[in-house]
Structure 1
Amino acid sequence: MLKGRWRTSGGALLRVITVWAVSSLTMLALAGILPDFRLQSGPEDSITDTALTAAWGAGAFGLLSALVWPLLVRALLLVPALVLGLLVFFLNGSLLLVALRLIPAGGGSANPETAVVVAAVMSAVASATSTALAVGDDNAYGRRFSRLAGRRRGNGRGERRDGTPGTVFLQLDGVGHDVLLAAVRDGVMPHVAAWLGEHPTHRLTPWRTDWSSQTGASQLGILHGSSHDVPAFRWYEKDTGRIMVSNRPGSAAELQRRAVERTGDGGLLTFDGASRGNLFSGGADQLALVLSMAARRGRANRSRAGYFAYFSDPANAVRTVVSFVADVGREIGQSVRARLRGDRPRVGRGGLYPFIRAFATVVERDVVVAAVLGDMLAGRTTVYADLVAYDEVAHHSGPHSRDAMQVLARLDRSVGLIARVAELAPRGYRIVLLSDHGQSPGETFESAYGLTLRDLVRAGCGLPVPRRAGRTKSGAEARDAARHAVLGALHRPESEGPGERPAPGSDPIVLASGNLGLVSFPDVPGRMSRERIDGRYPALLRTLADHPGIGFLLVASEEHGSVVLGPGGSEVPVALLEDGGPLAGMGPGAADAVRRADAFPHVADIMVNSMYDPETGEVHAFEEQIGSHGGLGGAQSHPFLLSPLVLSAPAPDGGELVGAERVHRVLRRWLREGSGPQVPVRNGAREGERPPTYAADGVSPGACPAGSEAESS
Structure 2
Amino acid sequence: MRLRIFPPALPGGTPRRLRSFGAAVLRVLAVWLVSTLTLLALAGILPDFRLQSPDGDSATFIATTAAIGAGVFGLLGAVVWPVLVRALLLVPALVLGTLVFFLNGSLLWLALSLVPYGRGSAEPGTAVVVAAVMSAASSATGTALAVRDDGAYRRRLARLTGRRRRREGLGPAPRTPGTVFVQLDGVGHDLLREAVTGSESQPPLMPAVAEMYGSTHRLTPWRTDWPSQTGASQLGILHGSNKDVPAFRWYEKESGEVLISNRPSGAAELQRRAVEETGDRGLLAVDGASRGNLFSGGASQVALVVSVAARRDRENRSRAGYFAYFSDPANATRTAVSFVAEAVRELIQAKRSRMRGDRPRVPRGGLYPLIRAFATVVQRDVVVAAVLGDVFSGRSAVFADLVGYDEVAHHSGPRGGDARQVLRKLDRSVALIAKAAQRAPRPYRIVLLSDHGQSAGETFRASYGLTLEDLVRAGCGLPVSRRVGRTPSGAEARAAARAALHRPEEGPQSEERTPSRSEGPLVLASGNLGLVSFPDVPGRMSREQVDKRHPALLRTLADHPGIGFLLVHSDRYGPVVLGGGGAEHRLDTGEITGGPDPLAPFGPGAADAVRRSAGFRNVPDIVINSVVDPGTGAVHAFEQQIGSHGGLGGEQNEAFLLSPRELSAPTDGEELVGAERVHLVLRRWLNEAAAGSPVPATRAADALEAADRELPSAHPPAAHPA
Relative to the length of structure 2, the TM-score reads 0.80
Once residues 243 and 312 of structure 2 are traced to their aligned partners in structure 1, the CA distance between those partners, rounded to angstroms, is 28
Q: Contact 2:157–2:389 at 8 Å: present in 1 too?
A: no
Query: Hey, what does 2:353 align to over in structure 1?
Result: 338
Query: Hey, what does 1:581 align to over in structure 2?
Result: 597
Q: Contact 1:167–1:431 at 8 Å: present in 2 too?
A: yes
Q: Contact 2:147–2:334 at 8 Å: present in 1 too?
A: no
Query: Hey, what does 1:182 align to over in structure 2?
Result: 194
Q: Contact 2:540–2:620 at 8 Å: present in 1 too?
A: yes
Query: Hey, what does 2:438 align to over in structure 1?
Result: 423
Once residues 561 and 381 of structure 1 are traced to their aligned partners in structure 2, the CA distance between those partners, rounded to angstroms, is 46
Equivalent residue letter for 2:544: E
Pick from 311, 319, 336 the counterpart of residue 321 of structure 1. 336
CA deviations on 1:91-110 (whole Å, 9 max, x unpaired) are 99998777656644535999
1:167 has 2:184 as partner: no
5 Å-filtered alignment, 1:277-356, equals 277-302=292-317, 305-356=320-371
Once residues 340 and 358 of structure 1 are traced to their aligned partners in structure 2, the CA distance between those partners, rounded to angstroms, is 22
5 Å-filtered alignment, 1:419-568, equals 419-467=434-482, 507-568=520-581
Q: Contact 2:450–2:657 at 8 Å: present in 1 too?
A: yes
Query: Hey, what does 2:499 align to over in structure 1?
Result: none
Query: Hey, what does 1:484 align to over in structure 2?
Result: none
Equivalent residue letter for 2:643: G
Number of residue pairs aligned between Structure 1 and Structure 2: 635
Q: Contact 1:279–1:290 at 8 Å: present in 2 too?
A: yes
Once residues 377 and 93 of structure 1 are traced to their aligned partners in structure 2, the CA distance between those partners, rounded to angstroms, is 31
Partner secondary structure for residue 282 of structure 1: coil
List alignment gaps of at least 5 residues for structure 1: 1-6, 78-87, 471-502, 679-694
Shift of 1:302: 3.5
Equivalent residue letter for 2:603: G
CA separation of 1:513/1:504 partners in 2, compared to 1, >3 Å: closer, same or farther?
A: closer
Pick from 367, 382, 394 the counterpart of residue 409 of structure 2. 394
Q: Contact 2:680–2:707 at 8 Å: present in 1 too?
A: no
Equivalent residue letter for 1:185: T
Q: Contact 1:152–1:378 at 8 Å: present in 2 too?
A: yes
Shift of 1:262: 0.7
Pick from 203, 209, 213 the counterpart of residue 192 of structure 1. 209
Q: Contact 2:143–2:334 at 8 Å: present in 1 too?
A: no
1:701 has 2:716 as partner: no
Partner secondary structure for residue 612 of structure 1: coil
1:27 has 2:35 as partner: yes
Shift of 1:306: 1.8
CA deviations on 1:266-292 (whole Å, 9 max, x unpaired) are 110111111110000111101111111
> RMSD across aligned C-alpha pairs, in angstroms?
3.8
1:412 has 2:440 as partner: no
Q: Contact 1:93–1:120 at 8 Å: present in 2 too?
A: no
Percentage of matched positions with identical amino acids: 60
Shift of 1:178: 1.2
Once residues 163 and 553 of structure 2 are traced to their aligned partners in structure 1, the CA distance between those partners, rounded to angstroms, is 58
Equivalent residue letter for 2:33: L
Equivalent residue letter for 1:596: R
Query: Hey, what does 1:231 align to over in structure 2?
Result: 246
Once residues 436 and 288 of structure 1 are traced to their aligned partners in structure 2, the CA distance between those partners, rounded to angstroms, is 19
5 Å-filtered alignment, 1:99-114, equals 103-104=112-113, 105-106=120-121
Shift of 1:521: 0.6
CA deviations on 1:110-152 (whole Å, 9 max, x unpaired) are 999998875444114445789999959xxx9646335279863
Shift of 1:315: 0.7
CA separation of 1:25/1:514 partners in 2, compared to 1, >3 Å: closer, same or farther?
A: same
CA deviations on 1:286-330 (whole Å, 9 max, x unpaired) are 111111111111222336622233223211111111111111111
CA deviations on 1:447-496 (whole Å, 9 max, x unpaired) are 111111111111211222222579xxxxxxxxxxxxxxxxxxxxxxxxxx
Larger displacement relative to structure 2 (420-429 or 66-75): 66-75
Partner secondary structure for residue 613 of structure 1: coil
Pick from 45, 59, 62 the counterpart of residue 46 of structure 1. 62
Larger displacement relative to structure 2 (26-35 or 185-194): 26-35
Equivalent residue letter for 1:193: A
Shift of 1:63: 7.0
Once residues 394 and 73 of structure 1 are traced to their aligned partners in structure 2, the CA distance between those partners, rounded to angstroms, is 44
5 Å-filtered alignment, 1:673-684, equals 673-676=688-691
CA separation of 1:261/1:303 partners in 2, compared to 1, >3 Å: closer, same or farther?
A: farther
Once residues 468 and 574 of structure 1 are traced to their aligned partners in structure 2, the CA distance between those partners, rounded to angstroms, is 38
CA separation of 1:379/1:72 partners in 2, compared to 1, >3 Å: closer, same or farther?
A: closer
Q: Contact 2:575–2:611 at 8 Å: present in 1 too?
A: no
Partner secondary structure for residue 165 of structure 2: coil
Larger displacement relative to structure 2 (406-415 or 188-197): 188-197
